Structure 1
Amino acid sequence: MLRIGIIVGSTRPGRKARAIAEWVHGQGAGRPDAKFEVVDLADYDLAHLDEPIPAVFGQYSHDHTRAWSATISGLDAFVVVVPEYNHSFDEAANATCLVGVRRPLERPDPETQRARVGTVLTALGADVAPPRGLRAATFFASADAATVINLAEWANADAHRAALAPAYFGEGAGLGDSPAWRATREVPGISPQYDVRRYELVGAVEAGAA
């Protein structure tokens, strides 16, 4: 029989998510093919990004993370109840940090632009696990063939900082320190000068919504 967890995705005082989760539980209680149970985040005292090693390895250093993992591992499927915030997920779940990396070339060259992007894609594919908190990465080659820009969307600035920390992968190396990542900085024709900036989301407008 399937075990389905109904996750209460809010821990705020006065939240409504628990009541909605209980309602969902009641709707599924009569099904003969599945067992439903409410899993409340408030019961686990989880902290945000406090584990030094990505979750994919299962090497947790905190009791609250181990307890959460044990509960989640015993479930086959999930229903997540999250609060609405400004027509989207709540602020904590929807936090976004955009990291822009601008790499100029020593001289304009479309082939060097493609080589730079190719080595970064190779490095991302070589990582043992996707960096925690990395949501997407987009690469742009300037029309004058003089610059490559990488725009990476992270859950928040702390996630990006954590990925750069020396102990991120548990082997004394952070994102960018592996041979594949070092190769991205050794592409012939790429200037050693570059610019990295973090941008926090402060507003958004949907097309046609203004």
Structure 2
Amino acid sequence: MAKELEIEFKNMLTATEYQELINLYSDKNATHIVQTNYYFDTPNQDLKQKKMGLRIREKSLPHELTLKVPTTDQHALVEVTDHLTEQEKNDFLNKMIFPTNSHVREVLLENGIQIDTIERIGELSTDRLESTQHLPHLIVIDKSTFYGHIDYELEMETNDSRTGEVFFKNFLKEHHIPERPADKKIARMLFYKEK
């Protein structure tokens, strides 16, 4: 289990801006990842009401079952993650069985979530480039596909909200990218699923 503070900044991109950033950051400092996220909630949207998010990220092993829990900082979330084998991932996706000694399950119960009502609400696939060129700021360039729709997003993960925000705003200016708010991927996925 991993429990960490995730501090990130996001901005939507046009297809042209996305391609320009991919061209600039596809170098020895970059890692290319293809992943699918499966999202979960209860029929009453208990997680959404608590501003929490639950997902499985399917990628090269180990897969991840992650619960995102809000903090007082609008740019920071606590992420509680269980690492999953292929069998554990399949058990959760197909039968909603949590892995043995799941910390995600414990935190859900602590927050009053009825885990026996959790169900899959959607999925999306992401083609991701992660660049360590500007550490301690991790540049993440995403192309996500959900229900026939494609969008492009810039994320930046950092270890400090204040310095991260200054860096992110300067990064956007340097690359002539207007500030465009980015909803969470789960919100965008639900929007396109319902269209």
TM-score by length of 2: 0.29
Where relative contact order (Cα < 8 A, 6+ residues apart) is larger, the structure is 2
Bigger share in strand: 2
TM-score by length of 1: 0.28
- Mark the structure with the bigger radius of gyration: 1
